[in-house]
Structure 1
Amino acid sequence: MLRNITPGTASRLTIVDHHETYGRHILQRHIQKIDILKCLDLGCGDGEDLLIVKQHHTNAQCIGIDYGSWNFEKLIQMGINPISVNIENQSLPFNDESIDFIIANQVLEHTKEIFWINHEIFRTLRIGGYLYLGVPNVLSFHNRLLGLFGVHPTSAKLISAHVRVFSKNDTISFYKNIAGRFTHIEKFSGSQFYPFPKKIARSLSNVLPSLAFSIFFLIRKTEDYKAEFIDWLIKTPLETNFFTGENNNSSF
């Protein structure tokens, strides 16, 4: 039931299907009803999410963003255009309102610069386009149980690669307060439910998505973006040196 691992690198549970963490069945369900000609995946890894997009939108241009080039050859063979970008301090190399669908699945928990990243997402996303956001849930069922016994959440260990935590209400509050004028959260879903195997986990995630291990948001851009994520840092000073752009890297 348990396996030996390096702490902070993977789950020790052997009875769960770890692919459920990425919620790709949810992505597949959403994209069937969306027109996609140009799709961008932030932190694309080996391109599994983009492959799903290509299966349903054969003519779509699929672009994979990552900070390293270790998967580039594989991605090119799959018909995906790979680009190396550090999304925390570089601009995305695309024009304003030029992307139909942006995927950020299990990547934002690895980042500090959430304001800059969202600035670039909504700058490049067209009006009517979508952000598909997937993140670990610090308030999942198993994390809540662990907390009762003084055990740290598995999705936020100091020894791991994760530097941020997310939950349903806090994520909704973030986008409502900063991006409420120009976005609408159309769908909320959950996937993976520790410590249960796939069949049970999927059923529980469907009924209790806010308690699932991973939570997913389908966010539609409804109006033009006017740099609200950067302006928020200026209007609401925070005691962290968040990055606000190449020519405006100030501490707040």
Structure 2
Amino acid sequence: MVAVECFAPYQKRLEEKKIRVCGVNIEREKLPFSDQSVDIIISNQVFEHCKEIWWITHEISRVLKVGGVFVLGVPNLASFHNRILLMFGMQPTCIQNNSAHVRGYTKNDFLKFLNSGFREGYLLQGFGGGNFYPFPPFLAKPLASLFPAMAVGIFFKFVKRKEYSGGFLTFARAPELESTNFYLGNATIER
């Protein structure tokens, strides 16, 4: 097991648990693994903090083996409580201007994003939800199971179906994204 973590206090905690740590800025650096060398990647409550999702997902797709598993957990922009907040003209809790979250996610939009950079590259093998505001735990758990797309957190299990050839970096250059400069590693954007 290898953890990718750039925050020194968390690195120390992981090392104390005898977990090998790679200190990598996932938004600017290559993952320190060979192409198609990793069996499973777990990212829980990370993507909402990152602007450079094209670069990060490029790197995940580069190092994950065909048949490998990618597990992702993110806050749900379309959760039940966020829908109510929006109905009353209030900001969703998972993406506020004065928070560390810079992106919001829904099930369908994340699937669209994955397909835009790696068409049919991932098979969604599992999808679930966790927690269901404003309900107490004894109701929240069954509600999240019944209506995962309305839960507070959403969790995906993907299996990589085929070899990856850099599609996330290509898509980040698309005309519809031209007003935003995304990090693409050594690749340059010609506009």
| TM-score higher than 0.5 | yes
Q: Which among 135, 149, 166 is matched to residue 196 of structure 1?
A: 135
TM-score (norm 1): 0.72
Q: Which among 167, 181, 184 is matched to residue 241 of structure 1?
A: 181
Q: Is contact 1:102-1:121 (8 Å) kept?
A: yes
Question: Could you tell me which residue of structure 2 aligns to residue 49 of structure 1?
Answer: none
Give the Å deviation of 1:251. Answer: 7.2
Q: Distance in 2 between matches of 1:233 and 1:162?
A: 21
Could you tell which deviates more after superposition, 74-83 or 94-103?
74-83
Q: Distance in 2 between matches of 1:237 and 1:159?
A: 27
Give the Å deviation of 1:179. Answer: 1.8
What does residue range 66-215 of structure 1 map to in structure 2 within 5 Å? 66-215=5-154
Q: Is contact 2:79-2:152 (8 Å) kept?
A: yes
Q: Distance in 2 between matches of 1:76 and 1:147?
A: 42
TM-score (norm 2): 0.94
Point out where structure 1 has 5 or more consecutive residues left out of the alignment. Answer: 1-61
Confirm whether residue 230 of structure 1 aligns to residue 163 of structure 2. no
Give the Å deviation of 1:249. Answer: 4.3
Q: Is contact 2:36-2:63 (8 Å) kept?
A: yes
Q: Distance in 2 between matches of 1:93 and 1:196?
A: 42
Q: Distance in 1 between matches of 2:86 and 2:173?
A: 35
Q: Distance in 2 between matches of 1:205 and 1:250?
A: 42
- Report the secondary structure of 1:210's partner residue: helix
Moved over 4 A (4+): none
Could you tell which deviates more after superposition, 172-181 or 117-126?
172-181
Q: Distance in 1 between matches of 2:190 and 2:105?
A: 24
Distance 1:194-1:207 versus aligned 2 partners, 3 A rule: same
Q: Quick one: which amino acid aligns to residue 5 of structure 2?
A: D
Q: Quick one: which amino acid aligns to residue 92 of structure 1?
A: L
Give the Å deviation of 1:200. Answer: 1.3
Q: Is contact 1:240-1:251 (8 Å) kept?
A: no
Give the Å deviation of 1:66. Answer: 1.6
Give the Å deviation of 1:206. Answer: 0.3
CA RMSD, aligned part only?
Answer: 1.5
Distance 1:249-1:89 versus aligned 2 partners, 3 A rule: farther
Point out where structure 2 has 5 or more consecutive residues left out of the alignment. Answer: none
Q: Quick one: which amino acid aligns to residue 157 of structure 1?
A: Q
